[in-house]
Amino acid sequence: MADITLEKFTNEEYLDFSDPTIDAAQKQALDQVRADFGKEHDLYINGEWIKGESGTFESVNPSNLNETIGSFQMASTSQALGALDSAWEAFETWQYVPAKERADYLLKAANVVRRRRMEINAWMISEAGKNYLEADADTAEGIDFLEYYAYEAIRLEDGMPVKDSWGDANKTIYMPLGAGVSISPWNFPFAIYLGMAAAPIAAGNTVVAKPAPDTPKMGHIVAEIFEEVGLPKGVFNFVTGDNIEVGEALTTSPKTRFISFTGSKAVGLHMAEIAGKVVEGQHFLKRLVCELGGKNATIVDEDADLDLAASEIVKGAFGFQGQKCSAGSRTIVVESVYDEVLEKVVEHTRALQVGDAKDNLASGPVVNQKAVDKIMSYIEIGKGEAKLMVGGKLAKTDNPGHYIEPTVFADVDENARIAQEEIFGPVTAFIKAKDTDDAIRIANGTQYGLTGAYFSKDPKKIDKALREFRVGNLYINRKCTGALVGAQPFGGFNMSGTDAKAGGRDYLLYFLQPKSMTLRPSEGVGMNLKEFEYSKS
């Protein structure tokens, strides 16, 4: 029997911005959205656009701090909890909508994203500081999440395969959990926000989705899209506001059935504490899905293609200014080729141009001043722990923005702070290894386990890395970033999260609960349990 998910699903291709026509179209879209800078944007609760009760806040262009993307509502605690109530009300009917109908909403939304693709890219370039390709990859991944989860919902509606027993008819179905909360990060502000909402919705749940304060416009666009495709009111709710007043109120509520979170380890551990604490009025254990940080390593063995390795190291370390949980912040090189790889990486890094994201340079700004302060503090720590090879200072640009030069440290001790702690910026630490075994040992020597890359031409060494390099996503002879939905399900081990594998077969199961049902035939009961479908009420 054909697999409906993998048969129908195809990853969205990235746009080729080396094509002058496509490049010009993106620049035109940038000009168009700039004309809409500074406007006020409302909350979207229970199918209505409403003002926040706690004022507004501004989203600022990190490439040019003189430009305001827009102002957004500060929801009050009562509004946030009201959104959760609306989600539960919508759940009463949404849970029984057949998977094919739920999927149709997501597939229609994917087509709206395609139609608005250049516009979405332009807002993301402006609000998050991504260059054209990074923004387009984010948008394309959003399309992938919508379509993949739509097909997965249809597949899972058949339930879990079980057998009949001793005359009893048996069936196991997957039921949605209820209403939950999604809290997403700023670094993939469209794809992750959209995917974290779309997955539970596809599975029959309802969601209150809070975007990161630095990138609320992306969440606002998602709300517009779901409204356009006619998603029933209350199924999706867009709420912006204070992390404590809104985020804490939603996650601690006894009505929150699940918490889906992507962000820092510190906040993720706090979410785990919240999910593990049962409060008055709570009648279930909260389901927690979280994807946290990484201290990802790229290993270069002595027999590797060194030119390829150097090029991929720079892409993995400095793509989107290293602001990816999958970024290659450690580079572990076997000592016989260490100096050569270091020299090549430094040369590539020096060639990176830093500037305004709208100019489509290799390196744009980091997200905000807090990020600048944190990254620069780690660079100062690095200067005392290792040898600074390139970068290490604020970049000089035409605009007032959050710019840091891509930075490489050499001769870093494996236990140094810049080798152990997540920096989340354009910094990579070179560590020398004695051999393959030593390199893998060093790579595994952190509390994280998200992504990794290994470069070698030796099948035996590659086999060893595949077995012993303990990360959720391992790449051989390519960079450690850029997982594709349906191809490389994404999530990590240890302190990198629950390894829920976004964009993979298991992900929707986190938002479902299996129910086993048994019918013993008796006189006068003509029901066929095999034909029972939860979604038909």
Enumerate the β-bridge partners of residue 50: 43
The predicted pLDDT at position 1 comes to 34
Structure-token pair, residue 412: 């870093």
Active site residue 290: no
Catalytic residue among 291, 302, 385, 422: 291
Structure-token pair, residue 341: 């790889």
Of 511, 514, 79, nearest to 258 by C-alpha is 511
Separation of alpha carbons 348 and 342, rounded Å: 10
The predicted pLDDT at position 339 comes to 98
Q: How many residues are there in the chain?
A: 537
One-letter-per-residue 3-state SS of 274-343:
HHHCCCCCCCCCCEEEEECCCCCEEEECCCCCHHHHHHHHHHHHHHHHHCCCCCCCEEEEEHHHHHHHHH
Separation of alpha carbons 331 and 505, rounded Å: 31
Q: pTM of the entire structure?
A: 0.97
The predicted pLDDT at position 6 comes to 64
Q: How confident is the chain (537 residues) per 10-residue block, as mean pLDDT?
A: 65 98 98 98 98 98 98 98 98 98 98 98 98 98 98 96 95 98 98 98 98 98 98 98 93 98 96 96 97 98 98 98 98 98 98 98 98 98 98 96 98 98 98 98 98 98 98 98 98 97 97 97 87 86
Catalytic residue among 12, 325, 422, 480: 325
Separation of alpha carbons 296 and 62, rounded Å: 26
Separation of alpha carbons 269 and 275, rounded Å: 10
Parallel, antiparallel, or unpaired: how do β-strands 407-410 and 236-238 relate? unpaired
Half-sphere exposure of 184 (CA within 13 A, CB side): 28
Q: What is the pLDDT of residues 402-457, one digit of tens each?
A: 999 999 999 999 999 999 999 999 999 999 999 999 999 999 999 999 999 999 99
Q: Are 198 and 102 in contact (CB under 8 A)?
A: no
Instruction: Please name the residues in contact with 27: beta carbons below 8 A apart, sequence gap of 6 or more.
Output: none
Q: Are 404 and 394 in contact (CB under 8 A)?
A: yes
Radius of gyration of the chain (CA): 24
Active site residue 291: yes
Q: What is the pLDDT of residues 483-523, one digit of tens each?
A: 999 999 999 999 999 999 999 999 999 999 999 999 998 88
Task: Locate CATH 3.40.309.10 in the chain.
Answer: 297-476
Structure-token pair, residue 503: 């964009």
Q: Are 116 and 221 in contact (CB under 8 A)?
A: yes
Q: Give the CATH H-level superfamily of domain 39-292+497-514.
A: Aldehyde Dehydrogenase; Chain A, domain 1 (3.40.605.10)
Neighbours of 98 (CB within 10 A): 16
Q: What is the pLDDT of residues 380-394, one digit of tens each?
A: 999 999 999 999 999
Q: Give the CATH H-level superfamily of domain 297-476.
A: Aldehyde Dehydrogenase; Chain A, domain 2 (3.40.309.10)
Instruction: Please return the burial class of 418, using the count of CB atoms within 10 Å of its CB with bins 0-12, 13-18 and 19+.
Output: buried
Task: Locate CATH 3.40.605.10 in the chain.
Answer: 39-292+497-514
The predicted pLDDT at position 524 comes to 82
